[in-house]
Amino acid sequence: MADRNRKATPADGKRMLKIAALGDLHVREDGHASYRDLFGEISREADVLVLAGDLTNLGKPSEAELLAEDLRNCSIPVVAVLGNHDYESDAAEDVTKILRQADVHLLDGQAIEIGEVGFVGVKGFVGGFGSRMLGSFGEPAIKAMVAESVSEAMRLENAMRQVRAKRTIVVLHYAPVVETVAGEPPEIFPFLGSSRLAETIDRFQVSAVVHGHAHRGSYKGQTPGGAKVYNVAMHVAKPSGRPYALLDI
């Protein structure tokens, strides 16, 4: 699988890097629909595959093994972040290890450069949006929740500072803006993401942001500072007409 990363730059002097992005594969042991063919198709269509979390359904190492097996059919570099589902079995470290062994650039507060594009990845967290964001007030449990949200935004900021490339794509699981969760029940909006991520993004020059998690959300939005945001959860309809988004970065 070492050859996957050989095709790390756009072919034929192409200026833009074509990125296929999708989230929420939710690979499960029972009735697992294989992604082999989809990964083969993506390898022909794009230069890099980005996976926006919820790679597994219950965060089991056995599910990660199934995904790693399917990824053998992917011949382009793969960049990924984990999602909340990947933490469910308290085995996120094992899931990470299995996927990294399968040559996946699994980012958790880091950045990597591929084909002159910086990829910055962090899972993100809940907390709500805009002026309705959850504030650090009251019970320790609420403060801990807000602290986690702030910590993810800070980890994103630290990763952004590592980037030297002129073009950057931010890979998240949770949404940084409310626009791309529209379509979900409003009652759960605060559990789908946090504006703190967008505040961080807007301190930098970012070409695009992709996220998942909001299965019933909307494809396109933007941060207050104008960075383009795409909800690439598999279930969200996309202009490509395919489960993955195609972005020229």
**Residue 83, Cα to own-chain centre: how many angstroms?**
8
Euclidean distance between CA atoms 185 and 217, whole angstroms: 9
Question: With respect to Fe ion, which residue has the nearer C-beta, 49 or 249?
Answer: 49
Distance of closest approach, residue 116 Cβ to Fe ion, in angstroms: 30
Q: Within 13 Å of residue 90, how many CA atoms lie on the same side as its CB?
A: 0
Question: With respect to Fe ion, which residue has the nearer C-beta, 84 or 89?
Answer: 84
Question: With respect to Fe ion, which residue has the nearer C-beta, 167 or 235?
Answer: 235
Euclidean distance between CA atoms 81 and 89, whole angstroms: 17
Q: Which residues pair with 112 in a beta bridge?
A: 119
b vs e for 35-47, b when ≥16 Cβ sit within 10 Å of the residue's Cβ?
Answer: beebbebbbeebb
Question: With respect to Fe ion, which residue has the nearer C-beta, 163 or 189?
Answer: 189
Distance of closest approach, residue 54 Cβ to Fe ion, in angstroms: 3
Question: With respect to Fe ion, which residue has the nearer C-beta, 75 or 244?
Answer: 244
Distance of closest approach, residue 93 Cβ to Fe ion, in angstroms: 19
Distance of closest approach, residue 3 Cβ to Fe ion, in angstroms: 31
237 CB-contact burial (10 Å; exposed 0-12 / middle 13-18 / buried 19+): exposed
Distance of closest approach, residue 83 Cβ to Fe ion, in angstroms: 4
CB neighbours of residue 224 within 10 Å: 12
Distance of closest approach, residue 192 Cβ to Fe ion, in angstroms: 8
Binding site residues, Fe ion, CB under 5 A = 24, 54, 83-84, 213
Are 113 and 159 in contact, with CB atoms under 8 Å apart?
Answer: no
Question: With respect to Fe ion, which residue has the nearer C-beta, 71 or 81?
Answer: 81
Residue with tokens 């998942």: 212
